[in-house]
Amino acid sequence: MIILTGNDLKTGDVIWWAGETNWSRHLSDAVDAGEEADAVLQREDAARRVNAGYSVEAEQTERGPMPLHIKDRVRASGPTVRQDLAIDTNIPIEKA
Amino acid sequence: MYQYDKYDQSLVDSRVAEFRDQCERRIAGEMTEDQFKPLRLQNGLYLQLHAYMLRVAIPYGTLSGDQMRMLATIARKYDRDYGHFTTRQNIQYNWIKLEDAADILQDLSTVEMHAIQTSGNCIRNISSDQYAGASAEEAADPRPWAELLRQWSSFHPEFAHLPRKFKICVIASDTDRAAMRLHDIGIQLVENDAGELGARFYVGGGMGRTPMIAPLIREFVSADDLISYCEACLRVYNRYGRRDNKYKARIKILVHEIGAEEYKRQVEEEFAHIKTLNLDPPRAELERISEFFAPPAFDAEAPTEVDLSDPDFRIWHDQNVAEHKNPAYAIATISLKPVGGIPGDATADQMDLMADLAKQYSFDECRVTHSQNIVLPHVRKADLYALWQKLDEAGLAPANLDLIGDMIACPGLDYCSLANARSIPLAQKISQRFADQQRQKELGELKLKISGCINACGHHHAGHIGILGVDRKGVENYQLLFGGSGAEDVSLAKITGPGFTEDGVVDAIEKATDLYLAQREEGERFVDTYRRIGMEPFKEALYG
Ligand code: HEM
Ligand code: SF4
């Protein structure tokens, strides 16, 4: 599946596309953008609902969508060395 | 400390106003990210893995107490209560909001700070020796020269769009605490036989994917020509440095490709021309600048003895305190490397405390070192014990300067969008494995440096032990390197062989240090033994 991420323009928060015009700070809310990925990114960028958006290859898991690349899993979890600042410490960083 | 004149202040103020307008236009949608990105980068604002990141310049690593306090305030008011001191003697904040960015720069400007030229293909913050003005061995205080270079390079129109970023370092002693020869230009101030001040110029060093040690380009440039000579070095680079390939654009590649001799010939030719332009400021200007760096009013009555009866204090004193040119004073290094901590990170409270201690004990001055520590340059020996007690209470007294626990680590994959692997968790594991003070001390000087990718922000090429994070089919993997140095015995580290997992690398380091302990001769550091016996025995121990 293809999911979309980027940053909130004003706050810089990492956000995930949750369908329509919705963005969430939680990876678990991300939905498959499929073939529409580029079109959605363009539209959402133009509306400034996302900044520096890009598409991420992911797989559906028991926990919901999980990016294939470690960088995006760290992105979704927050810094692994500051659990107090993390968004979701349950995201497996290393490949299972 | 240098103080802004009205030109400095108005430059910074107008830049804040300009950036405020740019941020507002971006937020209002009047600019795209493509248009805005170069503008924000010119003000130190990056977009990183989790958020915007702001890099604030700390000119030649020197901070007043008020400036340090402002760094704390920014961490508290706009970030998440901490900041990261970097190998370029700057500070980075990891959680900045675009809507706050202009306010932050405004707050910084009230203490004569900014984020200009902390990114992009321009001359970056000048780095220097953290012991400047305090060490007995320097030919001159390098800070006035670093300040002169800062003024010359700030908004220098000809060098605003170089082929690639450009880093200059100025030191003034044979001991190199600033990795001088791993800079694009490394300058060592020296006296010639006639007792005149001048500079040795090394050009074309750097780390990154193609590490190089800067060759000597000129043995002696008169101090009166320092700016002109820099100008000549930059001009030749600006004209011939490659702009077609980002990976071959640094000056080190140019110097390497045409050869140091040919580069020097061209610089000399350009210099002969530039000299006629009288670019160097008059002596009076240098003297004006130098007055800001005049030695503080040292207490002539202060005792030269230190009471070392407290054994814990003694350990810290032996490790983290260096000799000062004044026998009643000392240079104290505050290690930002607690066991299991994040190298270079300091909380807002810790920064406030360091600001207070600088004020109380060090003539209101502190320095950031390239190994991510903080130095109080002028502490009365009689005050060291009280200082240590306050540091210890705040978790700021690890007694590990230059030991294995005092490692450098870049932010790595925990924060950096360019990273291949995490650096910090590895640093934490190594510091825990070698936590025992006796053991660290037994291993002696051992500079361990970790980068999360080939860009080498964590100086792994210059580590006695270097570690480079790589991506092996989507899994974090670490290459181990031995034999580098960023000091006066400068050398580039060599890869040991196949990479390791995170735990594997910690074990490998232990095997290597065990071998060192078994093989070392009297007085040898880890790197000396490595240089004497070579890589083979280490390979045997690691992979055999
Ligand atoms: C936003 C995060 C960062 C980015 C995007 C970044 C990017 C880079 C890149 C691309 C290079 C390679 C330049 C080249 O080879 O031409 C580099 C080098 C370097 N960076 Fe960073 N860096 C970051 C953070 C840091 C930090 C946190 C430090 C200090 C701990 C640092 C210090 C350095 C140093 C010392 C070098 C090598 C010196 C040289 O350029 O030759 N950087 N950086
Ligand atoms: S070395 Fe790589 S991972 Fe580390 S800070 Fe630099 S760019 Fe990021």
CATH code of B178's domain = 3.30.413.10
**Any domain includes A35:** yes
Instruction: Give A35-68 pLDDT, tens digit per residue.
Output: 999 999 999 999 999 999 999 999 999 989 999 9
**This model's pTM is above 0.80:** yes
Tell me, yes or no, whether B415 and B453 share the same domain: yes
Domain CATH for B24:
3.90.480.20
Instruction: Please tell me the residue having the least CA distance from ligand 2 atom 2.
Output: B453
Domain CATH for B383:
3.30.70.3340
Tell me, yes or no, whether B99 and B162 share the same domain: no
**Any domain includes A92:** no
**Any domain includes B493:** yes
Give the position of tokens 């780390």: B207
Q: How many residues are listed for chain B in this entry?
A: 544
Q: Indicate yes or no: CB of A81 within 8 angstroms of CB of B425.
A: yes
Cβ-in-10-Å burial (0-12, 13-18, 19+) of B523 comes to exposed
pLDDT tier, A94 (very low <50, low <70, confident <90, very high otherwise) = confident
Cα angle B168-B247-B243, degrees, rounded to a multiple of 5 = 80
**Any domain includes B129:** no
Closest CB to A79 among B50, B417, B474: B50
- DSSP sequence for B215-270: PEEEEEEEGGGHHHHHHHHHHHHHHHS-SS-GGG-SHHHHHHHH-HHHHHHHHHHH
**Any domain includes A95:** no
| Chain B environment of A82 (Cβ under 8 Å) | 342, 414
DSSP letter assigned to residue B196: -
Specify the ligand 1 atom closest to the Cα of B459: 35
Paired tokens of B413: 């994959």
Expressed as residue numbers, the domain containing B472 is: 408-543
**Any domain includes B326:** yes
**Any domain includes B193:** yes
Query: For residue B342, which ligand has an atom nearest its CA?
Result: 1
Q: Is B467 in the pocket of ligand 2 (CB under 6 A)?
A: no
Q: Does A9 touch chain B (CB under 8 A)?
A: yes
Mean pLDDT, chain A, integer: 96
**Any domain includes A62:** yes
pLDDT of residue B209: 95
What is d(CA B118, CA B462) in angstroms, rounded to the nearest whole number?
22
Tell me, yes or no, whether B87 and B10 share the same domain: yes
- B287 to chain A, minimum CA–CA distance in Å? 45
- Answer whether residue A95 shows pLDDT above 80: no
**Any domain includes A72:** yes
Tell me, yes or no, whether B446 and B476 share the same domain: yes
Q: Is B456 in the pocket of ligand 2 (CB under 6 A)?
A: yes
Q: Does A38 touch chain B (CB under 8 A)?
A: no
| Chain B environment of A80 (Cβ under 8 Å) | 414, 422, 425
Q: How many domains does chain A have?
A: 1
pLDDT of residue B83: 98
Residues 6+ apart with CB under 8 A from B152: B227, B230, B231
Closest CB to B425 among A45, A51, A80: A80
Question: How close is the Cα of B90 to the center of ligand 1, in Å?
Answer: 12
Tell me, yes or no, whether B479 and B377 share the same domain: no
pLDDT of residue A96: 52
Q: Indicate yes or no: CB of A79 within 8 angstroms of CB of B52.
A: no
pLDDT tier, A69 (very low <50, low <70, confident <90, very high otherwise) = very high
Contact B271, B228 (CB under 8 A): yes
Q: What is the pLDDT along chain B (544 residues), one digit of tens a residue?
A: 999 999 999 999 999 999 999 999 999 999 999 999 999 999 999 999 999 999 999 999 999 999 999 999 999 999 999 999 999 889 999 999 999 999 999 999 999 999 999 999 999 999 999 999 999 999 999 999 999 999 999 999 999 999 999 999 999 999 999 999 999 999 999 999 999 999 999 999 999 999 999 999 999 999 999 999 999 999 999 999 999 999 999 999 999 999 999 999 999 999 999 999 999 999 899 999 999 999 999 999 999 999 999 999 999 999 999 999 999 999 999 999 999 999 999 999 999 999 999 999 999 999 999 999 999 999 999 999 999 999 999 999 999 999 999 999 999 999 999 999 999 999 999 999 999 999 999 999 999 999 999 999 999 999 999 999 999 998 999 999 999 999 999 999 999 999 999 999 999 999 999 999 999 999 999 999 999 999 999 999 999 8
Q: How many domains does chain B have?
A: 4
Tell me, yes or no, whether B148 and B238 share the same domain: yes
**Any domain includes B350:** yes
Contact B114, B12 (CB under 8 A): yes
Expressed as residue numbers, the domain containing A6 is: 2-85
**Any domain includes B304:** no
Contact B242, B248 (CB under 8 A): yes
Q: Does A67 touch chain B (CB under 8 A)?
A: no
Contact B50, A14 (CB under 8 A): yes
- A31 to chain B, minimum CA–CA distance in Å? 20
Q: Indicate yes or no: CB of B49 within 8 angstroms of CB of A71.
A: yes
What is d(CA B328, CA B297) in angstroms, rounded to the nearest whole number?
12
Tell me, yes or no, whether B283 and B342 share the same domain: no
What is d(CA B115, CA B56) in angstroms, rounded to the nearest whole number?
4
**Any domain includes A93:** no
Tell me, yes or no, whether B273 and B166 share the same domain: yes
Tell me, yes or no, whether B187 and B78 share the same domain: no
pLDDT of residue A7: 98
pLDDT of residue B283: 87
Closest CB to A12 among B26, B29, B52: B52
Tell me, yes or no, whether B389 and B478 share the same domain: no
Q: Indicate yes or no: CB of B33 within 8 angstroms of CB of A70.
A: no
- DSSP sequence for A9-73: TTT--EEEE-STT-EES-GGG----GGGHHHHHHHHHHTTS-EEEEEEEEEEETTEEEESSHHHH
Tell me, yes or no, whether B426 and B386 share the same domain: no
Tell me, yes or no, whether B412 and B389 share the same domain: no
